Every structure is written in structure tokens, then in C-alpha cells.
Amino acid sequence: MRKILILLLLCCAIGVQAHTGFGERPRLVVGIVVDQMRWDYLSRYYDQYREDGLKRLVDKGYSCDNCLINYVPTVTAIGHTSAYTGTTPAFHGICGNDFFIDDTPVYCTGDSTVMPVGTNNSKRGKMSPRNLLSTTIGDQLRMHTDFRSKVVGVSYKDRAAILPAGRSANAAYWLDVDNGQFITSTYYMEELPEWAKAYNQELARNKELKKVGKRVGFYPLCGHITTDMAIAALKGESLGKSDVTDMLCVSYSQTDVIGHEWGTRGEHTDEAYLELDKDIARLLKALDDQVGEGNYLLFLTADHGGAHNFQWMIDHKLSGGAWNVSELLMDNQLEAYLKEKFGDAVDLSIINGLNGYRVYLNHGKIKALGLDLAQVKEALVEYCRDVPHVQFVMDFEKVNSWSVPDVLRSRALYGYHPHRAGDLLLVLEAGWYEYGKWSSPVGTTHSAWNPYDAHIPLVFYGWKVEHGSTSQEVHITDIAPTVCQMLHIQQTNACVGEALTFITK
């Protein structure tokens, strides 16, 4: 009888412990996205990182060393969105930095219905998350607490502040490079809070910022002021100070700008990551001071990686090269081919453009000309197959029946939204990438399925996180369900990822 009573009491104690776990949450969740950070940058600079910066996260946190992006294309807006929604363009609808909806060009966070706040610059300020079709971690947290939790996004780029924070966020702040001030839009508020005004006044007196002006993204200074703004938001909004969990979303963009300009190797990139390390250390100290070490849950990841510069590859006898999209879409040979197939009335205007290696066709134009869309796609597939260094061409609507490797089929489908993701997908040979608008002769770019673009860091740190690492394959879409599971809140509403329960204590 005594043994039975002891067993019953033990079961009750376990039950109480399990039940109380549902009420345990960190005071703050912090998401950090480093734009264009390849996974190998954690090891490449490890010996040079400070003890209190990125090395602290690796040495005391849990590192997922085989985190992959499971869709194409691998670009900024999609990466930020997928990390915080736990899903892909097929469901969250952010199909690129720019894409088309019904033949109309769309910027991912562009919103003509709102007005800028903190600037008169409508180009920089008319932004919101209205194009986002699914919820984020912050949205789920806000709903769970009856919107008492505060969620704030901060970045140099508007899309990197807005999309992570979600549709119900309290605020998102980004930099208007024309006047060197952090701004927002009327989607969130009618006037900047006093703490934000105070920090903008500091920026107005910043001599270094005045010196570099609109090119601030090309300098580590961009990361310094992003960190300062994040710390100002942390303190100004008293994040982590209430009886509910708050969230701060921080994205560092200078690493992407510098990578596009100078590539994955060299003094500029070296400086960018060593200075980023200092910024991470400052942010961690502020979190320790404001919230307390162990009281906040933090994750660090990237929105995508970056290819090595094509000339650098060639110089070292490696495969790779530059591929100019204008040679495909603006070529007289292509137009002659289309006229031969469909008549003299057809020209290159039936193609809206190419974005992220996806061909967007002008459906309205094709219909007006009386052409069959399927036949137009078949003709373009036939043409593109003969373009040098194009390895595969896929019609999104037929990808399941095409002879392509499973990894490409899966990532193509996860990246495909029927109204936003275009019609055809081009896959280039490894090491080849689109050269032009977004990369310099010595720089780089991204968008491909390959590991150099798709293998990213993922480190969890802080509240309830066990120290360790794994080489198990995980995905960018696993971040959101993991955080939601740890917070004991419902998963994001279009989640396709899985909670990584092995990281917790």
C-alpha cells in the first residue's frame, strides 16, 4: 500500500511539473537575421570572434549545423518571412523582393494605402505587411496574450523589419537613407514614439553617417546604428518587463550590401563580420541588463547565403561563371523564335520579366493575342533548354511529371504560389549565377537552390536551451514551430516546419 501511495504521489508530482511547464515562458524572444550570412562564416571567423559575441552564442547555445533553405529562390524577403512564419512562398505569398500579381509588378512590402511616418519620403515610407498571407511567431504570440505582448521589428531594410514582425506587430522601423532617420508608416502609428525621435536626433548629429550618406549600407556603421536602434526599442518599449512575453526582431543588412559589392572573401567581408560580432556582443549585453541572462530566448539565422564570385572561382580553376539575363530575355534571337512559332504580332512583351530565375509571362497580353498559354510555355521551355549553362527548365504547373531531381522538384513546389511566383523556373549549373543589377564584378549574389545560397546558420540561445550541436538536417521553416512550441502557443497558421525539441533542456 505504501509503494502504491508513493507511486501515486510521484505521478501527481510529474503531472504538476508538466502542467506548470505550460505557464513557463521567457520574458522576451529575440530573433536575429544576418542578411547573406553563409553557414561557414561561423567557423571561418570563429577564432577571431569575441568571447561575448557570436562565439558566446555558439559556445553556450545550440547550433544546428545543417540548416537548409527548402524552397527557391533564396532571397531576402522570402528568407525573413519563412524564418518567422514556418512556411514557404507557396503559403505565405511573399514570392520575392519583387514579384508580379496579375501582371502587375509588386514590391513585397509596398502599400499605397499608408503614409510614411518620420519622413516625407513616400518611396521609403509607404510600406506595410499587407502582402503577407500567413501569421508569424509574433502574430501568434500577440493572439495568445490577447494582444498584450509587444512585437517590434528593426532593420536597415524595410522588408527585413516589416515581414519578421508580422501583420499584427506593434511597430516596425527601417532606415530612410535619404535623410538618415529611422521611419515607419501609418500602418503602425501616426507618430514616432519619443524614444525613436530621440534616437533620430542622435543620428542627425552622427558625423560618420553624414560622411557616408546614402551609402551607409556599404559600411559596418549600418550594423552599429541598427544595433543602437534595437537597443533603443528594447528600452523605450520596456520589452521583457511585463507579465507577458514580448518579441524583438532584428535584422542586419550591411552584410548583404557588402557581399553584393565585394563578395564572400576579402577585407570588406572580413571587417563586416568582425564588426557584426561586436554589435551582437553589445546587443547581448543590453539584453542581459534589461531582461537578465537566461530570461530571454534568442535565435540567430540568415535569410540566405551567397555564391563565391565567379571570377574568383575561375581564377582558382573551379567551375562557375556569370550569366546575363538580358542575353536571354532581350535577345533578338528569342523574339525571332517567338515570331516563327506564333506569328509576327508576337514580341518580347509577352514576358514580364525574370526574377529569382523564374520567368513571369504576361498572361493578359498572351490572352489578348489569342495564344494558348500552355503552348507559349512549351515553346519557351524548348528555347531555354538550349541556353548555355541552363541545366533544367521547369514549368511550375507540370513540375511533378518532369524528369528532375527530387530536391529541385520539392524546392520548386515550396517556392511556387500560383498567382505570384511566375510560370517557369530556370536552374543554372552549379557556380553560375545571374550577373547584373545586384552584383558587382568582384561581388556576389544569391537565389539558387545550391548549398552556397541555401546552407545557413541556425543557433538557439538562452532560456531553456541546452548547449550542443547537431548535424541533422533541419530547415529554415523549423524555426517558427520550435519557438512556438517552447512558448506553448499555437503554431503559425500555415506552418510546414517541425519543432526541434532536442534543443531544449
Active-site positions read 76
3-state secondary structure of 447: coil
Contacts of 149 (CB under 8 A, 6+ apart): 138, 141, 142, 244, 245, 246, 247
**H or E stretch including 159?**
helix 158-165
Measured distance CA(177)–CA(165) in Å, rounded: 21
Contacts 24+ apart (CB under 8 A), 348-352: 350/376, 352/100, 352/103, 352/105
Residue whose C-alpha cell is 550618406: 213
Q: Are 92 and 503 in contact (CB under 8 A)?
A: no
Contacts of 192 (CB under 8 A, 6+ apart): 117, 118, 183, 184, 200
Measured distance CA(93)–CA(109) in Å, rounded: 12
**Counting every residue, how long is the chain?**
505
Closest Cα partner for 476 from 206, 54, 92? 92
256-275 core/surface letters (b: 16 or more CB in 10 A; e: else): bbbbbbbbbeeebbeebbbb
**Paired strand residues for 468:** 62
Contacts of 43 (CB under 8 A, 6+ apart): none
Question: Parallel, antiparallel, or unpaired: how do β-strands 458-462 and 28-34 relate?
Answer: unpaired
Measured distance CA(271)–CA(273) in Å, rounded: 6
3-state secondary structure of 202: helix
Q: DSSP for 269-322?
A: HHHHHHHHHHHHHHHHHHHHHHT-TTSEEEEEE-S---PPPHHHHHHTT-S-EE
